[in-house]
Amino acid sequence: MSELTPREKKKAQKKILQLSAEIDRHDRLYYRDSQPEISDFEYDCLKAELLRLESLFPENSSPEKIGDDRGGILLTRAHPTPMLSLENTYNLTEILNFNGRIGRLLKIDTPLIYVVEPKIDGLAVNLIYEQGQLKYALTRGNGTEGDDVTDNVKTIEGLPLHIENVSDLIEIRGEIYMDQADFQRINRERSDGGEIPFANARNLASGTLKLMDSGEVRSRRLQFIAHGLGMGNNFQRQSEIYPFLERLGFQSQKYFYICEKIGDAETIIRQLDGERKRLPYHTDGVVFKINECLLQKNLGTTAKAPRWAFAYKFEPERAETILRDITFQVGRTGVITPVAELEPVNLSGSWVSRATLHNGDDIEKKDIRIGDRVIVEKSGEIIPAIVAVNLENRKNKALEKFIFPKNCPRCATELLRLPEEVACRCPNENCREQIIQKIIYFASKTAMDIDSLGDAVVRKLVENGKLKTIADLYALHREDLYILDNFGDRSISRLLSNIEHSKKTELWRFINGLGIALVGEKTAKDLANYFSSLDAFMGASVDDLMQIRGVGEKAAQSIVDFFGKEKNMDTIHRILDNGLEFSIPSTVKNPKFSGKLFAITGKLEQYARDEVKVLIEQNGGSVANGINGSVDILIAGAGGGQKLGEAEAKNIPIWSENDFKNALK
């Protein structure tokens, strides 16, 4: 490389300071606040640029930092062994460099064998088990000490609180994540409730893990996948660790490949890139790990990362296009969502003409203006988002700064913004658009499922004064429907009969259809399963509601508030007067195990553990993590161990797999 002139040196040094400060800021936003402003890819680009500039001044290179997720609120504790970061690249040829470097360090010129597995886009946690008992769960923190999130981690369904036949101190390392379905559910419920929707599942999971309210955390259903061991690793190979972790009861890496020679790396990456779309968690790359644990030990770590592993990250799909307009949707609870109307552009094989803008603050932060050229990105998440504006392109153009409207774009009522919310809402309960959206939701597939009552039909009926609330649906007459375009006698009869048919339905559909803030499809099912009758549900207190797994305090309060409003009760009674009939939810038609608490131990031959759990729950029972006073039945497979002894001591009936099978019949 040619020598830098003093001037170039000065410029580069200034840039280094700027970049470091910027990266520090993004580290705080990502790790500590769970609210990043830029995508991971943009962040990695900043980091790569900083590394490049720093390499020009090897004499005063600063020690690399790994980010710090400690929030300053929770207790912190030291990790028995440090939690490190991973070196990463977006470049296939870099993989050869990593491999070459490892070979040179080990002085080995035969092919190195790697385990290659998905890189989970979650947040790192360290589970510390002492004498088999889960003692602490810590976030990565600064690598040396992390936030103590033990209570919240204990809300994770199925996470073993006790593990058997392990060393006195063992560290289980892995990622906390939220699966895509839960992410979408919670985000939907959040936007309906006027709260900030999270940009992606990772941020939502990390925001959730830091909450002080374990009940709320439980309702969000975090999950954990284990991908390694800290202290207590007595294995010869990395590939043996995953089945071991599964035997202990953890979810672990199922999709890992053994890469026998580095030339196979690309094929394996392609394979995993294909498979990752089917995984319930978001992955942002693949991790290469030297398979031999002895070699891992010999290689050791730098201050920042192990020398025996590295990550190849998938580049997100992005494209540049013109922002034609910003329009607004008014949701059924009045939340106003801005939508980017784009010049259509091809992204990952599909045409994108709209993108989410999240909220007014987001537009302001990114200074997005109508007429700008914008960068649209589609990473793991479903909805494309605008990640940045091409400011170069804006020069010489007089684009006006975008100002978020003060009034509802539909009914002109002044918008409201509560202090703790980013969303703006239209507070007018008679806002026609809200009424339309409420009725559309009531009739939709995941609620009352009224066929042929689509968006256009509802809109027309509301606009013509035929519908004012969901209750009016059941008072519609043939004459009311003559105004519908393209509806002949037959279509009208069909619509009326579909509405009539919807009167016989499952309770959860009706509960979901009511559109209570923070109650979506899944919560509605939980509520219906629990209460079995609408009256019992409507009469429940906040405390009653919070007994239900999946219902946090906010949702419970929202339900009680909803039934406390006369207008809502009026609507419900009008609907019921029309003769609505609820069938028992199909999953608990024969609640064989109603109210029974099960525990499971040992190795099962005929069922996967998860399967047993689902079967029990489908039949009205539930599953405990260990043996306690309230367990009714222990299902024991081979080598049941300690739990078996505990159950015998407590006189708890013990079932074999066959007993379970017979009971199901």
Residue 259 makes contact with ligand IVH by CB under 6 A = no
Of the residues 40, 42, 54, 117, which one makes contact with ligand IVH according to CB under 6 A: 117
Amino acid code (one letter) for 295: L
User: Which range in 79-87, 148-156, 346-354, 527-535 contacts ligand IVH by CB under 6 A?
Assistant: 79-87
The nearest distance, CB 84 to ligand IVH, in angstroms, is: 4
The nearest distance, CB 175 to ligand IVH, in angstroms, is: 5
What count of Cα atoms within 13 Å lies in the side-chain half-sphere of residue 647? 24
Residue 86 makes contact with ligand IVH by CB under 6 A = yes
Residue 228 makes contact with ligand IVH by CB under 6 A = yes
The nearest distance, CB 76 to ligand IVH, in angstroms, is: 17
Closer by beta carbon to ligand IVH, 121 or else 362: 121
Q: Which residues in the 172-191 window bind ligand IVH by CB under 6 A?
A: 175
Element (H, E) at 354: strand 350-356
Residue 48 makes contact with ligand IVH by CB under 6 A = no
**Which residues belong to the active site?**
119
The closest of 221, 223, 218, 46 to 120, measured between CA atoms, is: 223
Bridge partners of 225, per DSSP, are 175, 251
- Per the CB < 8 A criterion, the answer to whether 559 and 548 are in contact is no
The nearest distance, CB 291 to ligand IVH, in angstroms, is: 13
- Tokens matching residue 321: 């296009």
Of the residues 132, 141, 197, 306, which one makes contact with ligand IVH according to CB under 6 A: 306
Closer by beta carbon to ligand IVH, 124 or else 138: 124
CB atoms within 10 A of CB 230: 18
User: Which range in 113-121, 464-472, 562-570, 593-601 contacts ligand IVH by CB under 6 A?
Assistant: 113-121
The nearest distance, CB 116 to ligand IVH, in angstroms, is: 10
Tell me 584's DSSP state.
Answer: P
Tell me 508's DSSP state.
Answer: H
Residue 16 makes contact with ligand IVH by CB under 6 A = no
Helix, strand or coil for residue 128? strand
Burial readout 147-172 (b: 16 or more C-beta within 10 A, e: otherwise): bbbbebbebbeebbebbeebeeebbb
The nearest distance, CB 99 to ligand IVH, in angstroms, is: 17
From residue 121 to residue 140, the character string flagging contacts with ligand IVH as x (rule: CB under 6 A) and all else as - is ---x----------------
Closer by beta carbon to ligand IVH, 243 or else 645: 243
Of the residues 29, 38, 84, 584, which one makes contact with ligand IVH according to CB under 6 A: 84
Residue 293 makes contact with ligand IVH by CB under 6 A = no
Residue 120 makes contact with ligand IVH by CB under 6 A = yes
Helix, strand or coil for residue 207? helix
The whole-angstrom separation of Cα 3 and Cα 9 is 9
- Tokens matching residue 93: 């040829």
Residue 40 makes contact with ligand IVH by CB under 6 A = no
Burial of 636 (0-12, 13-18, 19+ CB in 10 A): buried
Element (H, E) at 19: helix 6-27
From residue 327 to residue 366, the character string flagging contacts with ligand IVH as x (rule: CB under 6 A) and all else as - is ----------------------------------------
The nearest distance, CB 214 to ligand IVH, in angstroms, is: 23
What is the spatial order of strands in the sheet that 597-601 belongs to? 622-623, 597-601, 633-636, 654-655
The whole-angstrom separation of Cα 530 and Cα 526 is 6
User: Which range in 23-31, 118-126, 489-497, 517-525 contacts ligand IVH by CB under 6 A?
Assistant: 118-126
The closest of 59, 47, 54 to 16, measured between CA atoms, is: 54
Residue 102 makes contact with ligand IVH by CB under 6 A = no
Q: Which residues contribute to the site for ligand IVH (CB under 6 A)?
A: 84-86, 117, 119-120, 124, 175, 227-228, 287, 306, 309, 311
